[in-house]
């Protein structure tokens, strides 16, 4: 990779360019949705954003395993809960754009107040959770379960936040309860390279590989929550490590 991409000035410039790109996307998606519809507008512009991000940041992106999923999942006929390890701020837009079906995220309530971005993800129907209020968080998860049963797939980061050191953290139970309440499978996802591209707290994007590996679905009906959590964690860890 060219040395100029590792220059700190260029690293800062990539953050600024991507921030501008996000602002433009937040403004254009509601407008284009009038013609294309929300989902088509969102996915089309999200994919364009990712192509720009890869080119600017020198990121070699790969997604593996999608074609091995059952056809009902790939077509969107079978809603699922996608669960992934969380390595950087790049994870949500990359997963939104590159998963083959339209998904929404379970997002912390604080994101709702981020200018432009908060309004966009509210517009797109993302599900906000107040992690400081247990009763409200439970109500949000019940609403999410109803939406999944109606056909909406969601993405959850079971760690709850980005990793501090690149290692997978302890999983929280809420996403597993959601999948079991909705009666849908969990599709494990392992991300590698995201932490190296944009570590938590960093203001620089570094060039290199970013790989998303998708595993086969894990059934949630008829199994204990602890058993499902253990299986999903094992698979996400193996996928993130390229196994």
Count of C-beta atoms within a 10 Å radius of residue 70: 14
Look at residues 227, 211, 240, 136 and name the one whose alpha carbon lies nearest to residue 179: 227
Res 5: pLDDT: 62
Share of the chain above pLDDT 70, in %: 93
pLDDT, tens digit (0-9, with 9 covering 90-100), for 67-88: 999 999 999 999 999 999 999 9
Res 211: pLDDT: 97
Look at residues 19, 16, 69 and name the one whose alpha carbon lies nearest to residue 49: 19
User: pTM of this prediction?
Assistant: 0.87
pLDDT, tens digit (0-9, with 9 covering 90-100), for 35-48: 888 888 888 888 88
Judge residue 86's burial from the number of C-beta atoms within 10 Å of its C-beta, 0-12 exposed, 13-18 middle, 19 or more buried: buried
Res 2: pLDDT: 54
Domains recognised in the chain with CATH numbers? 60-240 (3.40.1130.10)
Using CA atoms, how far residue 202 sits from 15, 50, 80, 99, in Å, is: 10, 19, 32, 26
The token duo for 210 is 């970013």
72 vs 133: CA distance, rounded Å: 36
Tell me the mean pLDDT per 10 residues along the chain, length 243. Answer: 62 69 78 84 85 85 96 94 94 89 83 78 80 77 88 92 91 92 96 91 83 97 94 97 90
């Amino acid at each position: 990779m060219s040395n100029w991409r590792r220059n700190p000035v260029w690293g800062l410039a990539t953050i600024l360019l991507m921030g501008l790109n996000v602002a433009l996307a937040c403004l254009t998606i509601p407008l284009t949705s009038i013609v294309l519809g929300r989902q088509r507008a969102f996915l089309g512009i999200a994919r364009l954003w990712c192509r720009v991000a890869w080119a600017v940041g020198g990121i070699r992106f790969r997604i593996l395993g999608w074609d091995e999923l059952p056809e009902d999942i790939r077509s969107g006929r079978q809603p699922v809960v996608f669960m992934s390890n969380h390595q950087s701020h790049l994870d949500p837009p990359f997963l939104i754009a590159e998963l083959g079906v339209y998904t929404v995220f379970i997002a912390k309530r604080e994101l709702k107040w981020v200018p432009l971005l908060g309004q966009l993800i509210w517009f797109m129907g993302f599900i906000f959770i107040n992690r400081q209020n247990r009763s409200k968080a439970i109500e949000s998860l019940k609403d999410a379960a109803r939406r999944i049963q109606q056909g909406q797939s969601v993405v959850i980061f079971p760690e709850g936040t980005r990793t501090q050191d690149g290692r997978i953290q302890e999983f929280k139970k809420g996403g597993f309860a959601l999948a079991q309440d909705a009666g849908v499978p969990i599709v494990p996802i392992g991300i590698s390279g995201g932490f190296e591209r944009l570590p938590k707290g960093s203001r620089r994007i570094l060039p290199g590989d970013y790989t998303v590996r998708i595993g086969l679905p894990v059934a949630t009906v008829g199994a204990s929550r602890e058993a499902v959590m253990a299986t999903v964690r094992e698979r996400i860890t193996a996928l993130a490590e390229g196994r």
